[in-house]
Amino acid sequence: MQLILGIDTSCDDTGVGVVALHPDGRAEVRANRIWSQTVHARYGGVMPELASREHVERIDAVMEDALSEAGIEVADLGAVAATSGPGLVGALLVGLMYGKGLSQGLDVPFYAAHHLEGHIFAAASEAQTAEFQLTPPYLALVVSGGHTHLFDVVAEGTYQLIGATRDDAAGEAFDKIARLAGLGYPGGPAIAEAAKLGNPKGVAFREPMLGQSGYDFSFSGLKTAALLAHRAGVSGPDLAASFQAVAVKHLLKVTLRAAANLGRETVVVSGGVAANSALRGAFGASELRAVFPGKGLNTDNGAMIALAAAAAIRSGRAPSGLDDGATAYAPLANV
């Protein structure tokens, strides 16, 4: 068995996780610790320089917590992985340098990981059962505050981006609509909570991009429509329920079209928005086999980076060089 440490400092969460890679190929999450930065709240958005500084201050403590949650010593680690992109460069550098230094000190291999591959593999650990293993080809829908990407995972490590948002990310729309309706922050959970008390038919939102034959997404029109509805006096719960319903419908419809055209039967849904229970319900009730990350693995975390590294190790991918840098923009294609 090999113990892998995973680090993610791509944005405003300091995440460190530990995964055990078993000889039979099973990857098991042993620890998942996240420090969510709160300094940004008063600015209404993430301040990159503050994020970097906070990662520097917190990463030691988060790692200690992760090791003790896993019940191991640092010397037990057999590999170290850290996100190298995409993300805020200054923030990424903290985790990347920390991971490289640790791997050098321990004399174990280092794996630079792609943040989106991490999101996808966050669901892979859940998918391993005696009856079902997540093996390509399958679709992967990453829906977070920064991403709305639909990938066709054609082979292990080969990702084809077949659709993406044309404007706002799905999570960003949840956050912005929650803010305009005064429902609180972060917007995703606030909308989900308010929606329980609202009427999903309260606002007649028009489903985005109805005419397309491709697999793109759009959320900015819904944001404008929500603003107008709010000004017209629609209640917070009705607005939340109606927006959540149309957002889920849009995400599902595009994914189903892609699955039908490409002949895919399985979809991994991950990223912060994948925590949404209406979305889980709708995908779960569809004809696709929908696979979601386990508890605490939807939003940014370090365990998903260790899971991506476990997959890399399993498929015989070579460790990364120490000169691999941090990249703000990093398309996921072949890794």
Least Å distance, CB 189 to ligand KG4, is: 5
Residue 120 contact among Zn ion, ligand KG4, none, beta carbon within 5 to 8 Å by kind: none
Residue 271 lies near ligand KG4 (rule: CB under 6 A): yes
Neighbours of 156 (CB within 10 A): 14
Residues 283-322 that bind Zn ion (CB under 5 A): 300
- Cβ proximity to Zn ion: between 32 and 144 the closer is 144
Measure the CA–CA gap between 316 and 310, rounded to whole angstroms. 10
Measure the CA–CA gap between 113 and 127, rounded to whole angstroms. 20
Residue 273 contact among ligand KG4, Zn ion, none, beta carbon within 5 to 8 Å by kind: ligand KG4
Residue 192 lies near ligand KG4 (rule: CB under 6 A): yes
Residue 222 lies near ligand KG4 (rule: CB under 6 A): no
Residue 188 lies near ligand KG4 (rule: CB under 6 A): yes
188 is in an annotated binding site: yes
Residue 117 lies near ligand KG4 (rule: CB under 6 A): no
Residues 145-164 that bind ligand KG4 (CB under 6 A): 145-146
143 is in an annotated binding site: yes
Residue nearest to ligand KG4 as judged by C-beta position: 188
Number of residues that bind ligand KG4 (CB under 6 A): 20
Per the CB < 8 A criterion, the answer to whether 145 and 169 are in contact is yes
Residue 157 contact among Zn ion, ligand KG4, none, beta carbon within 5 to 8 Å by kind: none
108 is in an annotated binding site: no
Residue with tokens 């917007």: 187
Residue 294 lies near ligand KG4 (rule: CB under 6 A): no
- Which residues line the annotated binding site for Fe cation? 115, 119, 300
Positions that interact with Zn ion (CB under 5 A): 144, 300
